Amino acid sequence: MKQRDFKVLVLGSLPEADDLFERGVFKDEYPCEPVRVENPEEFGRAVREPTFDLILIDVEPHGINVLRSVLDERPMRPMIMVADAAQGDVILEAKRLGLERYVMRLSDDVLNADLLAEEMVFILQRLSEPPSMEHPTVEELFRFAQYHNVRQPFFVIDRNHRLLYTNASGKALVKAVHDHDLREGDQYDRFPLTGSTQESTSHLNEALGGSEVEIEHTYERLVKNDRHREVFYQPVHDTTGAVVAVSIACKNIGLRLQAQQKVERQEQALWSFFELVPLPLKVVGPDLRIHRANAALADFLGYDDPDELQRVTLDSLLHPDDLGEAHLALNGLFEETSSYAHFECRYQHLNGETVWVNQIDFPLRGLGDEESEGLVLALSVDITRQKQAEQRAAQSERLRAIGELAAGVAHDFNNVLSIVKTYSQLIHAKLEQEGDHEYVGFTNKIVGAVDRAMALTGQLLTFGQEDEGDKARLDLNTRIHEISALLERNLGEGVDLKLELAADLPAIEIDPSQLDQVLTNLVINARDAMNAGGSLVLRTRQESKGEDLPPHPDLPTGDYALLEVEDEGEGMDEQTQRKIFEPFFTTKGRSRGTGLGLATVYRIVDRNGGYIYVDSELGCGTTFTIYFPASETGPDTGSDDLPSKKA
Ligand code: ADP
Ligand code: MG
């Protein structure tokens, strides 16, 4: 740091000082600029100049009176008095008045100069060092403020509330705020720095009492970026520890406030971004409570208002099977053993459906916002559609593989059965001819068993069937009408078949015999479930799927002809519902059920680009819903003699 020369005021005739300055003794370390004054009037003016760092006084001719006035004006101002040995009594009195350093002249001039040099170095060295801020002396502070680039306004006020020192920025501040040209000796009530005169004086008195006082103050008369100040009153002690003055520093905090406001604005921007972003977001605390949720999350989980989510815990939103993984991931973030968590999990939609998300969580750190410190920001990316499509694809693939195997076996087995049947019939004819009634009965049983076996292999072949058959563009309603008589014949006594068919149904494309299989299987299952009787409704309706997700997130958008088969039967629990499309799953026992009905239905619907859903509750009936994609060849005319088309 570039320092100015030390200004040394020399009063009277001091040949030792002249000698030192001529020789340039301190030139390198403490460059000095001496100013010599001879008479008391000049000295009186000079001494009021705050710019002198050090005063050298010859006892003669002005003696103790001058010293007294200086010390009175500026306690603790660095000063060295030079006296002849005979003037020891003056030195003694000067010390009593507060003089710190002195030189007693001896007979050797060179020695006298060295003694003075030693005293000067003692003071100059002290003035060059940054003041200890714990117990700064006035001089240290002054020196620091003047020469160590203190650009902030700085004042030193004595016990009588008089200004001892200020710097250029201090003067400028008082000029701007009070329109007053500040001079040393001015009373503090002329330039109060922290509010009214009364307030400022009380701050000053508090500091004179030994306490540090820190005030944030706004100077309305200053320009915008300059007016916010932190005013710091600090007691200044003498060597005995007594408070002799107070220093006042006015630090500009405009930039800090500006930065703070910027942070606040950024924070606001961040939170408004949080609100507006279409991705489901929430902020979670270590107690796993939701601190904030955005509208997208509320919407995603079926809540009207994001605030409702603040009243529920995270656990109540998560699927029970996924709690473990979610806790593990979040705890890692809260305990700072990980900085990022990424996992898949399921949430419960308010309507009871399960939704899948890709969860990305990370701690909210360094936002400069205490409120969010220690919290975790959680982003959810909806993957329900992909998950269900994946599950569906896996299911289709599995059914296809099982079907292929079953059809292969069934085909070969059917050939064997044909042979068995042919020869059994031949033997049967021969025995009948011979009139062997006992053995005719046996062959009848064989043929009957072979027929049942062939029916089963036929079902296996249907289930395993790969191709789409003879696809035709047809009207679902017409087809239902056509086979309803046949279906009704299959129903028991107490079961009542009702048709609720919508008029404006789009045409669909499917092999009519495969559609018949779908209808037959569903109707027969419904009948089986209605031992006590009840009504069975076949319902159709046109349905368009938009972008909104539930209740069937995996259903692609588009137009559909919808078929509902609704019964009032025994219904199914959830566990059963999960398994019904599995081949060979039956609850009817091996003799009555094959477990191939719904697996076949599933394969046919799937193969034709449709979707099937089940809605059931134990004891409350069952509804199967099938979405057949509308044929893209234009609206249907309602007749079934449309040109058929091979797939
Ligand atoms: P199966 O009829 O030979 O048992 P399915 O594949 O047709 O085989 O049906 C599988 C199982 O699904 C049935 O055994 C039954 O438990 C259940 N199920 C199917 N439809 C219904 C229904 N409408 N009501 C109640 N349960 C049903
Ligand atoms: Mg069945």
Q: For residue range 469-484, what is the model confidence (pLDDT) as tens digits?
A: 889 999 999 999 999 9
Residue (of 230, 94, 210, 199) closest to 159 by Cα position: 210
Per residue, the 3-state secondary structure of 436-482, as one string, reads CHHHHHHHHHHHHHHHHHHHHHHHHHHHHCCCCCCCEEECHHHHHHH
Q: Which residue lies with its CA nearest to atom 25 of ligand 1? A: 571
Q: Return the SS3 of 598.
A: helix
Q: Cα(271) to centroid of ligand 2, in Å?
A: 56
Query: Structure tokens of 116?
Result: 């003075």
Name the closest ligand to CA 565: 1
Name the closest ligand to CA 594: 1
Query: Structure tokens of 321?
Result: 């099977």
The whole-number pLDDT of residue 134 equals 58
In what helix (H) or strand (E) does residue 269 lie, and over which residues does it extend? helix 254-276
| Mean pLDDT value of segment 93-103 | 82
Name the closest ligand to CA 583: 1
Pocket of ligand 1 (CB under 6 A): 521, 525-526, 529, 567, 569-572, 576, 580, 585-588, 593-599, 622
Measured from the Cα of 521, ligand 1's closest atom is: 7
pLDDT category, 380, cuts 50, 70, 90?
very high
Q: Which residue lies with its CA nearest to atom 12 of ligand 1? A: 580
Q: Cα(525) to centroid of ligand 1, in Å?
A: 5
The whole-number pLDDT of residue 568 equals 95
CB of 441 closer than 8 Å to CB of 477:
no
CA distance 118 to 20: 11
| Mean pLDDT value of segment 327-335 | 91
Q: Cα(595) to centroid of ligand 2, in Å?
A: 6
Measured from the Cα of 583, ligand 1's closest atom is: 6
Q: Which residue lies with its CA nearest to atom 13 of ligand 1? A: 586
Whether 141 is in a domain gets the answer: no
Per residue, the 3-state secondary structure of 396-448, as one string, reads HHHHHHHHHHHHHHHHHHHHHHHHHHHHHHHHHHHHHHHCCHHHHHHHHHHHH
In degrees, rounded to 5, the angle at the alpha carbon of residue 113 between the alpha carbons of residues 111 and 117 is 115
Q: Which of 120-129, 314-323, 450-459, 549-558 has the lowest mean pLDDT?
A: 549-558
Q: Which residue has the higher pLDDT, 41 or 430?
A: 430
Residues spanned by the domain of 504 = 472-629
Say yes or no: 484 and 625 in one domain. yes
pLDDT in tens, 260-301: 888 788 778 878 888 888 999 999 988 888 989 999 999 999
The whole-number pLDDT of residue 373 equals 72
Say yes or no: 567 and 512 in one domain. yes
Measured from the Cα of 593, ligand 1's closest atom is: 3
The whole-number pLDDT of residue 634 equals 53
Say yes or no: 213 and 331 in one domain. no
Ligand 1 pocket: which of 456, 525, 590 to mutate (most atoms within 8 A of CB): 525
pLDDT category, 562, cuts 50, 70, 90?
very high
Measured from the Cα of 567, ligand 1's closest atom is: 23
Q: Cα(640) to centroid of ligand 1, in Å?
A: 31
Q: Cα(516) to centroid of ligand 1, in Å?
A: 17
Q: Cα(560) to centroid of ligand 1, in Å?
A: 25
Q: Cα(588) to centroid of ligand 2, in Å?
A: 9
Report the amino acid identity of residue 354.
Answer: T
Q: Which residue lies with its CA nearest to atom 20 of ligand 1? A: 525
Q: Cα(581) to centroid of ligand 1, in Å?
A: 9
Q: Cα(1) to centroid of ligand 1, in Å?
A: 93
Say yes or no: 624 and 487 in one domain. yes
Say yes or no: 334 and 196 in one domain. no
Measured from the Cα of 585, ligand 1's closest atom is: 10
Residue 643 scores a pLDDT above 70: no
- Dihedral through CA 90, CA 92, CA 97, CA 100, nearest 10? 110
Whether 275 is in a domain gets the answer: yes
Total tally of structural domains belonging to the chain:
5
pLDDT category, 237, cuts 50, 70, 90?
confident
The whole-number pLDDT of residue 85 equals 80
Say yes or no: 486 and 437 in one domain. no
Q: Cα(590) to centroid of ligand 2, in Å?
A: 12
pLDDT category, 550, cuts 50, 70, 90?
low
Whether 643 is in a domain gets the answer: no
Residue 221 scores a pLDDT above 60: yes
Q: Which residue lies with its CA nearest to atom 21 of ligand 1? A: 525
pLDDT in tens, 164-197: 888 878 888 999 999 999 988 899 999 999 999 9
Whether 622 is in a domain gets the answer: yes
Question: Of 463, 490, 507, which residue sits at a domain end?
Answer: 463
Residue 640 scores a pLDDT above 60: no
Say yes or no: 337 and 321 in one domain. yes
Residue 636 scores a pLDDT above 60: no
Say yes or no: 285 and 218 in one domain. no
Ligand 1 pocket: which of 520, 586, 620, 623 to mutate (most atoms within 8 A of CB): 586
| Mean pLDDT value of segment 188-209 | 95
Residue 25: CATH number of its domain: 3.40.50.2300
Mean pLDDT of all residues in the chain?
Answer: 85
Q: Which residue lies with its CA nearest to atom 8 of ligand 1? A: 595
Residue 327: CATH number of its domain: 3.30.450.20
| Mean pLDDT value of segment 79-93 | 85
CA distance 66 to 50: 17
Say yes or no: 504 and 601 in one domain. yes
CB of 155 closer than 8 Å to CB of 141:
no
Q: Which residue lies with its CA nearest to atom 19 of ligand 1? A: 525
CA distance 33 to 80: 16
pLDDT category, 149, cuts 50, 70, 90?
very low
pTM of the model as a whole? 0.56
Q: Cα(481) to centroid of ligand 2, in Å?
A: 22
Measured from the Cα of 571, ligand 1's closest atom is: 25
pLDDT in tens, 492-530: 788 999 999 999 899 999 999 999 999 999 999 999 999
Q: Please confirm whether the linkage preceding 629 is cis (ω < 30° from 0).
A: no
Whether 483 is in a domain gets the answer: yes
In what helix (H) or strand (E) does residue 567 lie, and over which residues does it extend? strand 558-567
CB of 77 closer than 8 Å to CB of 56:
no
Q: Which residue lies with its CA nearest to atom 17 of ligand 1? A: 580
Share of the chain above pLDDT 70, in %: 90
The whole-number pLDDT of residue 133 equals 54
Say yes or no: 104 and 150 in one domain. no
Whether 408 is in a domain gets the answer: yes
Residue 622: CATH number of its domain: 3.30.565.10
Name the closest ligand to CA 526: 1
Name the closest ligand to CA 618: 1
Say yes or no: 454 and 486 in one domain. no
Ligand 1 pocket: which of 528, 570, 584 to mutate (most atoms within 8 A of CB): 528
pLDDT in tens, 6-55: 889 888 888 889 888 888 877 777 888 898 887 777 777 777 676 678 88
Q: Which of 237-246, 324-333, 375-384 has the lowest mean pLDDT?
A: 237-246
pLDDT category, 419, cuts 50, 70, 90?
very high
Say yes or no: 477 and 514 in one domain. yes
Q: Which residue lies with its CA nearest to atom 14 of ligand 1? A: 586
Q: Which residue lies with its CA nearest to atom 11 of ligand 1? A: 586
Q: Cα(595) to centroid of ligand 1, in Å?
A: 7
Whether 493 is in a domain gets the answer: yes
pLDDT category, 552, cuts 50, 70, 90?
confident
Q: Cα(600) to centroid of ligand 2, in Å?
A: 9
Whether 304 is in a domain gets the answer: yes
